[in-house]
Every structure is written in C-alpha cells, then in structure tokens.
Amino acid sequence: GENVEQHPSTLSVQEGDSAVIKCTYSDSASNYFPWYKQELGKRPQLIIDIRSNVGEKKDQRIAVTLNKTAKHFSLHITETQPEDSAVYFCAAIQGAQKLVFGQGTRLTINP
Amino acid sequence: DTGVSQDPRHKITKRGQNVTFRCDPISEHNRLYWYRQTLGQGPEFLTYFQNEAQLEKSRLLSDRFSAERPKGSFSTLEIQRTEQGDSAMYLCASSRQSHRETQYFGPGTRLLVL
C-alpha cells in the first residue's frame, strides 16, 4: 500500500521568511496530493491540492510542486505570518478513495 | 454552518463501555469517510461509504468497531467494549462524486477511555 513520509517534523521560521515542507510517496499510481492545515483542537483544513498531471500550483502565498519521477511533492509558504503557525499534513490518495497522510510538520512563525 | 458536523465533540468513557459517534456530511456529498487521529500523528483511514454502501474497511477497524450509513446521509461509528488504546480523535470527512478525492473534514470527536 501507499506510504507517505513527511519532513521536517518541526520547522521554525522568522515572520516574513519562506517555509518549505517536503513529502515523498511510494505508490506511483497515486494521482492526487492535498495539503491540510490543522490548528490546535480544530479540524484539518484543505489549503491546496495538486493532481499528477500538473507540476506546480499556486494560490496567493501558498504553492505546491510535484515531481512524479522522484515521487515527491512540496509545500511552499512565502511571506509567512503568525497565523500560518499550525501543523501541516501532506497526503496522497490511494485508489481514488482513502487518503494516506504524512506524519505532520509543526510550523512555528516567530515574530 | 454547511460543513461536516460531528457529535459529540468530546466523550469520556470507562473501559468496557460502548460509545457511538455521529457524523453529518455536507448535504450534496455522497461519500463519507471515517479516520482516526492519535496525538502527534496524521489521520489514519478507517472506512468509507458511497451512499449507504460501506465499500472499504481498514484492518485498523477491529470487530469491536462498526459503522453504518443507513439512509446514505448521516453515519454512526460505534465502538463496543472500549479499550484505553481506543483513545483518539475520530474524524469524519465527506466528498462529492464529481470531485471525490477532495475530502472535507469535520471537527472530530475526541474520545478518552479511562
């Protein structure tokens, strides 16, 4: 089955700097890769996603890149703000139904 | 609020008791998923429904767990004879048929088994 590895587990950046979180997946058949943001005690919130027929997608300060050959994808947050502090999860879809999640990255934005 | 809702939000029970959680998906979504999340980990898939049909169950879903979606709308997840290892956040998600990969999560039910 699919296995998703996520790095780093914690990340601390200065406000205004960029943050990058990386994930690798094992199943070459996976074709959909969402990113979720989860604040303490709240639901995972979908922030951006990418499908395997696209190499990059951007939404304001957030971008995701996908390298199908290497089977890895990354989340890029530019001009970070304190409200970006949260746990971020990458995931890969398996069989068009269940999401397989990475272990999460706790992002802290220092003012 | 037109998002996924779950009830209760918190549940404390004693070991050996049965508990039942409810999930109401977004109204036009025909797919409904249950995940379990333990502290410091990502959500793990438990099971999913398309309309009223339960199409896949994870090996994590032991015979003490049962999920239903009788009318293809809300779903219930029951845990019988709870164990301390069942303590976790139980998350529900839903998606529509036309964009079935895009799953929207509810706030979860946090279960603590004493």
Task: Kindly determine whether residue B55 and residue A97, on different chains, have CB atoms separated by under 8 Å.
Answer: yes
Question: pLDDT tens, B36-63?
Answer: 999 989 999 999 999 999 999 998 888 9
Round to whole Å and give the CA distance between A59 and A47: 9
Tokens of A17: 């700097």
Q: Which residues of B touch A4 (CB under 8 A)?
A: 42
Residue entry with tokens 């309309």: B51
Round to whole Å and give the CA distance between A93 and A73: 13
Which residues, including other chains, have CB under 8 Å from residue A20's CB and lie 6 or more apart? A74, A75, A76, A77
In this prediction, residue A96 carries a pLDDT of 63
Task: Kindly determine whether residue B103 and residue A46, on different chains, have CB atoms separated by under 8 Å.
Answer: yes
Round to whole Å and give the CA distance between A40 and A76: 21
Question: pLDDT tens, A92-111?
Answer: 997 667 899 999 999 999 99
Q: Is the pLDDT of residue A57 over 80?
A: yes
Round to whole Å and give the CA distance between B57 and B62: 9
Question: pLDDT tens, A60-83?
Answer: 999 999 999 999 999 999 999 999
In this prediction, residue B2 carries a pLDDT of 73
Residues 11-50 of A with CB under 8 A from B: 32, 34, 36, 42-46, 49
Reported as a pLDDT band with limits 50, 70 and 90, residue B107 is very high
In this prediction, residue A6 carries a pLDDT of 98
In this prediction, residue B101 carries a pLDDT of 86
User: What average pLDDT does this structure show over B5-34?
Assistant: 96
Q: Is the pLDDT of residue B104 over 80?
A: yes
In this prediction, residue B97 carries a pLDDT of 81
